[in-house]
Structure 1
Amino acid sequence: MNDVSKNSGTPITSETLKSLGRYDFPDPQVIDPEGVGIVAMGGDLAPETLISAYAQGLFPWFNEGEPIAWWCPEPRCVIIPSDYQPSKSLRRQAKRERWQLTLNQAFDEVIHACSLPRSNGLPEGEHTWIHEEMIDAYTELQAHGFAHSVEVWNSEGQLIGGLYGLKIGNIYFGESMFHRASNASKLAFWGLMHLCQQSGVALVDCQLPNAHLMSLGAITMPRAQFLAQLDTLISGRSTLWRPNSHQPLATAMLNTSKPWQANR
């Protein structure tokens, strides 16, 4: 992916990011004026294609064995990290537990955990829309420095929750989260909110609204408004997130203003 793949923190124009890959994605406002959400079909999941798509407000969402579908929903579900407020019960749990958060220490484990069925009626062994093609694509993005995971570990060193997504400039595109212990994913999300604020990430894209996201403080934004500010966000400069860029974080520290400590 040439020098863009290094995600070096050097400002990159939105046009550079949009022009990556070999596909011309349509303007969501033109191709989908009624706001159905799906704006294109086909293509591939190469790193260049994905970065170009996200830079234009699109993301892939399709079942295994189906053509790749590219979405840009109306409205868009987002959260502003500086507006996030954890519940009192979550604050108490963070103080009580002897858990730790890490950044980019177990991306493969997190994305595979996110792919497993939950309480959604899927048969045992059936995966979610995060199937092997998607896992391979985002794992490659992680190797290029664009995809990132936040992990939660219990006192025995077991992975009990986490989330993953993409960071481009000053926006984080959230993809999925999971938990194996009560509220572990919420603690990962709280850790992400802190990390975004400390790094200069101004907006987190949650894609589609649901009750869980709204309970965390997400809001809906008109698609046109989201797309209008996207160029500025993706071209912005923010602190790099590398596998060893930040120290492990005790959940009790989430109650402080700037808990993530950078490795020097």
Structure 2
Amino acid sequence: MGNITLPNDQNITPETLKSLGRYDFPDPTSIDPEGIGLVAMGGDLASDTLISAYAQGLFPWFNEDEPIAWWCPEPRCVVVPSDYQPSKSLRKQARRERWQLTLNQAFDDVIRACSLPRSDGLPEGEHTWIHEEMIEAYTNLHAQGFAHSIEVWNDQGQLIGGLYGLKLGGIYFGESMFHYVSNASKLAFWGLMRLCEQSQVALVDCQLPNDHLMSLGATTVPRAEFLTQLDTLIRAGSVKWQKDAYIPLPVSLLDTPTPWQRKLS
């Protein structure tokens, strides 16, 4: 299937999204009662397949040249944007930096930066699990208005950090983040939290817990609880994140009441 045509975030229903594509994904709690996390193998990364999977709480995670693996971990790592509190040191840095945040201005650069090895021991030049097949799939989702990036730019206009993921109704599925300068990804994450608050996105899915995410305020919930919430969150809808909908945001304004300012139509 090519481009996905849906009315808008206010009219998306879980049933519509789950029915996309040609695969019937199994119920995670039935197929994986022990909570290992692996739910299905095979299929493809077509846009309709991906949207259907995410609407059912699944996401792809596999190495290049391996079969596509679909996961729904137990427990699930999440962040409630309205509960997020940046550290005192991050607030202090934001006030003094002349950096800017943007939305959807450099998706390809962000996902490719996220794909590069960091401190995980990969040989130089080798990519992470975000390989070319994944990059193409999520770039297609971005072109169709489902995948979104937040970028951090220094005062010379250079990209120094960012993150990307998918938004369906009132939930954002975070995929990956990167930084070239210390704390740039944390500022992107803070920007995401504030944008979610302003646009009725009530939950950010972080998939699997790790020390970095937990330090940013993430927590874990039982998989069954997450899946129960998912339909409600999708149905709730939210403000659309169109490419040129928001004015670039100085990071020094992150702590103001409504930092992300929409452009006048």
TM-score in terms of structure 2 length: 0.98
State the AA in 2 paired with 1:35.
Answer: G
Match runs of 1:220-235 below 5 Å: 220-235=220-235
Match runs of 1:61-80 below 5 Å: 61-80=61-80
State the AA in 2 paired with 1:68.
Answer: I
Q: Which residue of 1 aligns with 2:165?
A: 165
List alignment gaps of at least 5 residues for structure 1. none
Q: Secondary structure at the match of 1:259?
A: coil
Q: Secondary structure at the match of 1:149?
A: strand
Q: Which residue of 2 aligns with 1:38?
A: 38
Is 1:136 the counterpart of 2:155? The answer is no
State the AA in 1 paired with 2:235.
Answer: S
TM-score in terms of structure 1 length: 0.98
CA contact (8 A) 1:60 1:70 kept: yes
Match runs of 1:62-211 below 5 Å: 62-211=62-211
Please state how far the C-alpha of 1:234 moved relative to its aligned partner.
Answer: 1.2
Q: Which residue of 1 aligns with 2:26?
A: 26
Distance in 2 (alpha carbons) for counterparts of 1:137 and 1:166: 12
Number of residue pairs the alignment of both structures matches: 264
State the AA in 2 paired with 1:133.
Answer: E
Alpha carbon RMSD of aligned pairs, Å?
A: 1.2
Please state how far the C-alpha of 1:9 moved relative to its aligned partner.
Answer: 2.6
Please state how far the C-alpha of 1:5 moved relative to its aligned partner.
Answer: 3.1
CA contact (8 A) 2:150 2:192 kept: yes
State the AA in 2 paired with 1:107.
Answer: F
State the AA in 2 paired with 1:119.
Answer: S
Q: Secondary structure at the match of 2:123?
A: coil
Q: Which residue of 2 aligns with 1:216?
A: 216
Please state how far the C-alpha of 1:125 moved relative to its aligned partner.
Answer: 0.6
CA contact (8 A) 1:5 1:145 kept: no
Q: Secondary structure at the match of 1:90?
A: helix
User: Structure 1 vs Structure 2: percent identity of aligned residues?
Assistant: 75
State the AA in 1 paired with 2:61.
Answer: W
Is 1:49 the counterpart of 2:49? The answer is yes
